Structure 1
Amino acid sequence: MKICITSASGVEAVTKRELQKLGYPEVPFVNGRGTLEGEFIDVAILNLKLETAGRVEIELANFKCDNFDAFFDEISKIEFEKYLDKNAKIIISAKSVMSKLFALSSIQSLTKKAVCNRLEKIYNCKLLEDGAEYKIEIAIYKDVVTVLLNTSGDGLHKRGYRTLVGEAPLKETLAMAMVHLSVWKAGRILCDPFCGSGTILIEAVRHALKIPAGNDRDFDFLHWKCFDIKIFEQVKMQANNDILDIPDLKVYGYDIDENAIKLAKYHAKKAGVSKYIEFINDDMRNFTSKRSHGVIITNPPYGERLMTRKQIVSCYKAFGKMFSALPDWSAYVLSSVTDFENLFGKKCKKRKLYNGKLECNLYSFLGKK
């Protein structure tokens, strides 16, 4: 089967390196989607272990089409019965870019009709749709239609430990991408001076301990009759055997908001990493360290919803002053503030990333060796 892995803009190279480490070399990425040939064991491995990917999907078909009659005919040819049983609950989503087929509601309704008609003929019964969920996505780009079956269910950023949400939450996959793009590794001090609900630090510790990203969550494919659950159980057991305990691992989170610190502690406990993280309810201006070659990875406040421009200027200048007292430390800062370098007081390397739909830059500054 052809397996597709989605990745957010700016993160594709990080996800590609992850795939290489998992034994999938040279996976090409086009428009945020990488493809490889595999089996259901690969679906299990990728869903469980990928840290920065969005979803894992099975490509059911790919064809060129510019009218709805031909579209319906092509969808009707797809062998959905290989995956969908007679009780399948069928959910259709669609997106279309620069294509003659742009009416999303028509794309969804025609797809649903074609799928149901085929399955009812195959199974010789009326579909009740009272079973496991099967999410089918129709992606159309320049009149080329790709039909995908979502194996993950919810996006892979939903790890399972973050059940409560603070202000302006950072997706776990983006937080993990920031960790991957940094020089931090276990043995170096790590601090997030604007830790919020703790996502960056939790993801960093789980990465260091080799806790599989999807260890605490469910996936749609686990409920499909075409999948042997024993495959996943074996993959998960092997992955959990590789989990480390690093007694001297310690990372630090600061936040001026007491409620954010309470939330961060709650999430760290649910994620099973609370003993490795010290959360401190204090202003980042008060952070200092005698240890050398530490790393800051952070997502400070930005945007009118959280801070006024005057507050941002004051905060970022104070952040730069605090950091200047740590000459051999490195910093990785995600922000949408376009004059960040001027406020921070240092020239940095930039990498465009998206926090949700908001365009940001990951500003990287390497400390003295």
Structure 2
Amino acid sequence: MSKKLEQFFATCPRGLEALLGEELRELGAQAIAPTYGGVAFSGEYELCYRANLHSRLASRVLLRVGGGEYRDEEDIYHGALSFDWPTMFSVDKTIVVKMTAQKAPLKSLEFTTLRIKDAICDRFREATGERPNVDIREPDVRIHVFLTATECTLYLDTSGQSLFKRGLRKQAGAAPLNENLAAGMVKLSGWQPGTPFFDPMCGSATILMEAAQVALNIAPGSHRDFGFEKLTRFDPKVWLPIKQAAIDAQLPATLQPIFGRDMFGDSLRDAQVNLEAAGLAGVIQLKQGNVIEVPAPADHGVIVTNPPYGIRIGEQSELAEFYPQLGNWLKQKCTGWNAYILSADMNLPKLIRLNATKRTPLFNGALECRLFEYKIVAGSARK
């Protein structure tokens, strides 16, 4: 007898929805439907174990509990009260309720969130005589609510902390990328393990570490815990073999053609701390150097980098000088390489004075960016 298919929704940085859909399909997901900010999909319950463990792109994997139409806060309260929460997690687990809304006609989303929390606690009180406590910082169970103008949908979070928190990075730079956005940039570059990979402004090594995990077939969730472990349906007999199979599939931590440079010693020290904590110190080759002076580490390969794009006043003039130099460096020292450069400033990349062959929209949090692709061949067209 086939098992029941559950309905899931995986969130991700905007711009990566199609890639996440492909990733989930490879993990066995069905009925994949990318949408704004994530992907709806279905599968047997155990799929949430694999998706949390293996997804490089998802931020959270949410299990749909149910939903329906509403007119006001009381409809939402009674809808939430109708779910059998005590069968989903025990009363000794702490909870938090998070809400996202689009065009909801309600006066106060904060009040509505409280009413959903009340419904969950009231249902527990009816069933057990007790109610779960709320912990807004480190809850055992996260309940996510999504409102449209007429529909309310409730989800249980099977991830816990956001999935980009791999449990590897110990030091972060001044403006670090989330790991799943960095993984998306690596995926969009088309890079394959064995090909030289280079981040000439590597900061705390977030992009490099994502590439190294791909090269060594390291499951991104293999060093952390998950929210599904706190739910009643958690089955260690199913989960532990899935996790062990992922660990067994990892490759030895040998030196790879993955190179990082940064001109700032503090950033490189942070990067080294991160690599050592992640067991990747002997995998990635780090050196200090100014991007516009260092030679490319091989005669071909893929560059993926997140250079400064100047949020503070006074930085623009410095960057207006830097970006033409970056373009000269690409042209003169990186022939044979494909470069992928992230920027939230649509004008600065024009100063590189090379024709971008792609401009992929991505979001770094709320910041709209583009990932610019430059194919550097001998005689590359200059603007």
With structure 1 as the length reference, what TM-score do the two structures score? 0.94
What 5-or-longer segments of structure 1 have no aligned partner?
none
Q: CA deviation at 1:368?
A: 3.8
Q: Are 2:372 and 1:363 aligned? A: yes
**What CA distance in whole angstroms lies between the structure 1 residues aligned with 2:79 and 2:279?**
48
1:127 aligns with 2:135: no
> What secondary structure, in the 3-state scheme, does the structure 1 residue paired with 2:309 have?
coil
Tell me the CA shift for residue 340 of structure 1: 3.4
Q: Residue 365 of structure 1: SS of its match in structure 2?
A: strand
Give 1:312 shift.
Answer: 0.9
Inter-partner Cα distance in structure 2 for 1:306 and 1:220: 41
- Asked whether 1:272 is paired with 2:279, we answer yes
Are residues 307 and 271 of structure 1, via their aligned partners in 2, closer, same or farther at CA, if it must alter by over 3 Å? farther
| Compared CA separation, residues 305 and 197, structure 1 to 2 (3 A) | farther
Cα 1:9–1:130 change in 2 (3 A) is closer
Asked if residue 234 in structure 1 is aligned to residue 241 in structure 2, the reply is yes
Asked whether 1:57 is paired with 2:62, we answer yes
Once the two structures are TM-superposed, the CA of residue 128 in structure 1 deviates from its matched residue by 4.9
Letter in 2 for 1:81: P
Tell me, yes or no, if structure 1 residue 187 matches structure 2 residue 194.
Answer: yes
Q: 1:102 Cα shift? A: 4.7
Measure the CA separation in 2 of the matches of 1:75 and 1:25.
Answer: 27
What secondary structure does 2:269 align onto? helix
- State the number of aligned residues: 368
Cα 1:130/1:115, change in 2 over 3 Å? closer
The residue aligned with 1:347 is 355
Q: In 2, are the aligned partners of 1:341 and 1:347 still within 8 Å (CA)? A: no
Alignment of structure 1 residues 203-352 onto 2, 5 Å = 203-245=210-252, 247=254, 249-289=256-296, 291-305=298-312, 308-325=315-332, 326-348=334-356, 349-352=358-361
Q: Residue 169 of structure 2 is aligned with which of 154, 162, 165?
A: 162
TM-score by length of 2: 0.91
- Secondary structure of 1:40's partner? coil
Q: Distance in 2 between matches of 1:24 and 1:237?
A: 21
Task: State the AA in 2 paired with 1:321.
Answer: N
Residue 334 of structure 1: SS of its match in structure 2? strand
Please state whether the residue corresponding to 1:153 is helix, strand or coil. coil
Q: Percent identity?
A: 28
1:197-237 per-residue CA deviation (whole Å, 9 max, x = no partner) reads 00000100101111001111111221334312232211110
Question: Which residue number corresponds to residue 122 of structure 2?
Answer: 117
The code of the aligned residue for 2:85 comes to: F
Match of 2:158 in 1: 151
Instruction: Give CA deviations for 1:130-165 in whole Å, capped at 9, x if unaligned.
Output: 997111111112222111111111111100011322
Distance (Å, rounded) in 2 between the aligned partners of 1:164 and 1:55: 23
